[in-house]
Amino acid sequence: MTKTFPKNFLWGASISAHQTEGAYSSDGKGLSVQDTRSRKNHDIADFTVAVDHYHRYKEDIALLEELGVKIFRFSIAWTRIFPEGQGKINQAGITHYNDVINECLKHGIEPMITLNHFDLPQALEEKGGWTSRSTVDAFSNYVQTVFKAYGDRVKKWLTINEPNIMLLVDKKILGKSLSLQEKYQQFHHLMIAEKKAFKLCHEIVADGKIGPVPNISLVYPATSKPVDNEASLYFNSVRNWAYLDFSCFGRYNTVFKDYLNRQGVKITVDKEDEALMTNHFPDFIAMNFYTTITVEKPMSKKGLADGISDQQSEDIMEWGFYKGYTNPNLQKNEFNWTIDPLGLKTTLQTLYDRYHLPIIITENGLGAKDNLQADGAVHDSYRIDYLKQHITACLEAIQAGVDLFGYSPWSAIDLISVHEGISKRYGFIYVDRDEKNEKQLKRYKKDSFYWYQQLISTNQIP
């Protein structure tokens, strides 16, 4: 097997606004749900300063040019453009992202922008958030504004980051729990908002391309028992295909509809929705992948947590349908996530076989506790090993016929995680701060930086 990727393959790196920018109330920015969310652990870093990418974007983008990336995936903070989510535009926000985009282009890097990454404006949340149809209208106005402001230079757009994870693990991502009825009314509004973004991008951005960006993980049955296979069928639909079938086919799939009916969920649909659903579609699929999921059919309401010893499975419990199960055939990282590079290949194959749209990976990476040495080195061989396994899986998927056109791992620089703060690091670039002390926020290149740099320069896996 050759180790060489296609000539025009897009190597990149990814971040989000709220996890990196800091400057949470600077230059007219409004508060988002990530700024106001309740926190049980006050001993970890929050998003107020984060890693100060807002003020240091020039330094960070210069480092990304040195790394050799062709694309940089980042998100726009909605509350920098509309502090209240709607109404008056904040010109300082418009100017900031103009400057970031121009800096990327100056360094030969193509920006790929996520329209919203878990940071709904708090002012809209107070009016019902995604449960309210008015949030769809506010989102439509926001995306129209940024398409007009930046569409002359930005041609690749992503819609709403991981709406499936936002709803499936609402407590972890949003800091609150939703009822099933509210959760799936939000699903409908999120997906209609995405359809409006497809429509507006194609109308406003000349040669613009846009895609959804869910977290996709193939779901395995725990055993060959028919009931476990049924459990994986339902969770594959609820976790993965419900979102992409809506995006790519404009429909609710039958398994998902059966799940909603059996749960007694009734979704309110507006008159305009059918036309939006069936007439506006993505140009590609952006996929975030960390690992696969394994489930079994729960046979008793007692002991629903039995068999679970990994972080991803602890939130998967739906009586009558499925429950998480820790796959004994997979290794784990130090934050208790399973590792499954072959699962990335089969997920890519399944996705492409189902939708037959070009795919780009926009998140994939290893969270770990890195150590800065006295000489400024960070020896993260464990991250290199993880990336090598998963990038090899990408190449194998391409050779198996998948139209994978890019890989933009998580993350470009170290950033703040909701539950682990700065201790859980993903970046190619180390940011010198700890949970309580921001220090000088100095940047250091990790060993993985040099490894990825070599890969990009040769287009081959070292």
Q: At residue 22, does pLDDT exceed 90? A: yes
Indicate the pTM of the whole model.
Answer: 0.96
pLDDT digits (tens, 9 = 90+) for 436-448: 999 999 999 999 9
Residue 364: which pLDDT band, with cuts at 50, 70 and 90?
very high
Q: Which of 68, 93, 90, 82 has its CA nearest to residue 9?
A: 68
pLDDT for 1 equals 65
Q: What DSSP assignment string belongs to 203-256? A: HHSTT-EEEEE-B--PEEESSS-HHHHHHHHHHHIIIIIHHHHHHHHSS--HHH
Which of 29-38, 74-83, 111-120, 423-432 shows the lowest per-residue confidence on average (mean pLDDT)? 29-38
Q: Which of 216, 235, 224, 217 has its CA nearest to residue 295?
A: 235
Residues 159 and 193: their CA atoms lie apart, in Å, by 9
Q: Which of 76, 125, 72 has its CA nearest to residue 97?
A: 76
Beta partners for residue 417, in sequence order: 421
Residues 69 and 57: their CA atoms lie apart, in Å, by 15
What rounded mean pLDDT belongs to the chain? 95
Percent of the chain with pLDDT over 90: 88
Q: Which of 179, 181, 110, 111 has its CA nearest to residue 146?
A: 111
Is 59 a known active-site residue?
Answer: no
Which of 164-173, 176-185, 254-263, 431-440 shows the lowest per-residue confidence on average (mean pLDDT)? 164-173
Q: What is the mean pLDDT of residues 324-328?
A: 91
pLDDT digits (tens, 9 = 90+) for 30-45: 999 999 988 778 889 9
Annotated catalytic residue: which of 162, 296, 318, 438? 162
At a CB cut-off of 8 Å and minimum separation 6, what does 353 contact? Answer: none
Three-class DSSP category at 263: coil
Q: What is the mean pLDDT of residues 294-300?
A: 92
Whether the Cβ atoms of residue 265 and residue 181 lie closer than 8 Å to each other: yes
Q: For domain 10-217+356-458, which CATH number applies: 3.90.1560.10, 3.10.129.10, 3.30.360.10, 3.20.20.80?
A: 3.20.20.80
Q: At residue 302, does pLDDT exceed 90? A: no
Is 314 a known active-site residue?
Answer: no
Domains of the chain by residue range = 10-217+356-458
Beta partners for residue 168, in sequence order: none
